[in-house]
């Protein structure tokens, strides 16, 4: 499976502007099975408009798209939720953010169900929105072959380095514990949300790198990058873990 992670340089409260920027970035991108957008790519677009834009992106990319997320009304507040669509426009899954963070809660965002996974190219995909990755309980249920994380990694640090390091370590820990790839699509560190800067943590955590060193491949500057996922190697890793009584399945 080939996955494309998109890392735009600027976030706008106008979801159409964000998704138009993504369309531009994907022009000329290599073919892929799955494209992952960062959190809040749809900002506050109504669901109908958000879905319409995702279907257009998926058709042009000829790939399934995990559409980051958008805010939707929910009672007296709102929820942070998103959709995954196939290249043909079918809705593959809905998902939500179970752990709204800091400034979101101040802005009236309430918890939403994480949602179910879906299949792409015969592989099981789970979506966790940003801070949900930091709670291991978010990955309860059937094991996933790849966990994709649309993120907006706002940080209180004056530079992106500390938060980026924490995210990389957390991604590797989840990948190793749950024997899966973890792919994070974030905004570039130049982006900001409600006055808070982004860390720019886009990249891939691999629980079993061939060289024993590349547990996390960062994408600090590229707007779009492709990652090849080796599921034969992942299967060997899982079997080895099971043989050593570290795994919950063979």
For the cut 60, the answer to whether the pLDDT of residue 247 exceeds it is yes
pLDDT at position 131 = 96
Q: What is the mean pLDDT of the chain?
A: 94
Within 13 A of 186's CA, how many CA atoms are on the CB side? 34
Which region among 49-53, 210-214, 227-231 has the lowest average model confidence (pLDDT)? 210-214
Region 45-50 average pLDDT: 98
First to last CA, the chain: 21
Cα angle for residues 25, 29, 34 (degrees, 5° grid): 95
Residues 200 and 163 sit within 8 Å (Cβ to Cβ): no
pLDDT, tens only, 193-205: 888 889 999 999 9
Instruction: Give residues with Cβ within 8 angstroms of 59, minimum separation 6.
Output: 87, 88, 89
Q: Determine the Cα–Cα distance for residues 51 and 67; give it in Å rounded to an integer.
A: 9
Tell me the two tokens of residue 156. Answer: 């209180």
Instruction: Give residues with Cβ within 8 angstroms of 73, minimum separation 6.
Output: none
For the cut 90, the answer to whether the pLDDT of residue 74 exceeds it is yes
Region 57-61 average pLDDT: 97
Q: What is the dihedral of CA 98, 102, 108, 110, to 10 degrees?
A: 10
Percent of the chain with pLDDT over 70: 98
pLDDT at position 226 = 96
Q: How confident is the model at residue 250 (pLDDT cuts 50, 70, 90)?
A: very low
Region 237-247 average pLDDT: 89
How much is the pTM? 0.95
H-helix or E-strand spanning residue 50: helix 47-61
Residues 87 and 32 sit within 8 Å (Cβ to Cβ): no
Q: How confident is the model at residue 169 (pLDDT cuts 50, 70, 90)?
A: very high
Q: Give the three-state DSSP class for 36.
A: strand
pLDDT at position 198 = 94
Region 180-188 average pLDDT: 97
DSSP 73: E
For the cut 90, the answer to whether the pLDDT of residue 149 exceeds it is yes
pLDDT, tens only, 77-136: 999 999 999 999 999 999 999 999 888 988 899 999 999 899 999 999 999 999 999 999
């Amino acid at each position: 499976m080939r996955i494309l992670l998109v890392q735009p340089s600027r976030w706008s409260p106008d979801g159409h502007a964000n998704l138009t920027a993504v369309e531009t970035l994907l022009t000329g991108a290599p073919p892929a099975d799955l494209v992952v957008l960062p959190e809040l790519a749809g900002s506050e677009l109504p669901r109908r408009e958000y879905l319409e834009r995702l279907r257009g992106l998926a058709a042009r990319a000829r790939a399934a798209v995990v559409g980051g997320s958008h805010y939707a009304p929910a009672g007296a507040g709102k929820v942070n939720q998103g959709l995954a669509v196939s290249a043909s426009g079918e809705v593959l899954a809905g998902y939500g953010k179970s752990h709204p963070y800091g400034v979101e809660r101040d802005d009236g965002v309430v918890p939403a169900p994480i949602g179910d996974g879906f299949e792409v190219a015969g592989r099981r995909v789970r979506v966790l929105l940003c801070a949900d990755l930091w709670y291991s309980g978010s990955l309860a249920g059937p094991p996933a072959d790849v966990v994709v994380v649309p993120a907006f990694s706002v940080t209180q640090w004056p530079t992106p380095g500390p938060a980026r390091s924490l995210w990389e370590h957390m991604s590797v820990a989840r990948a190793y514990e749950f024997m899966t790839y973890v792919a994070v699509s974030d905004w570039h560190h130049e982006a900001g949300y409600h006055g808070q800067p982004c860390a720019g943590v886009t990249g891939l955590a691999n629980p079993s790198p061939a060289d024993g060193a590349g547990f996390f491949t960062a994408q600090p500057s590229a707007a779009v990058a492709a990652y090849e996922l080796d599921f034969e190697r992942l299967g060997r890793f899982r079997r080895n873990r099971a043989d050593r009584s570290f795994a919950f399945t063979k």
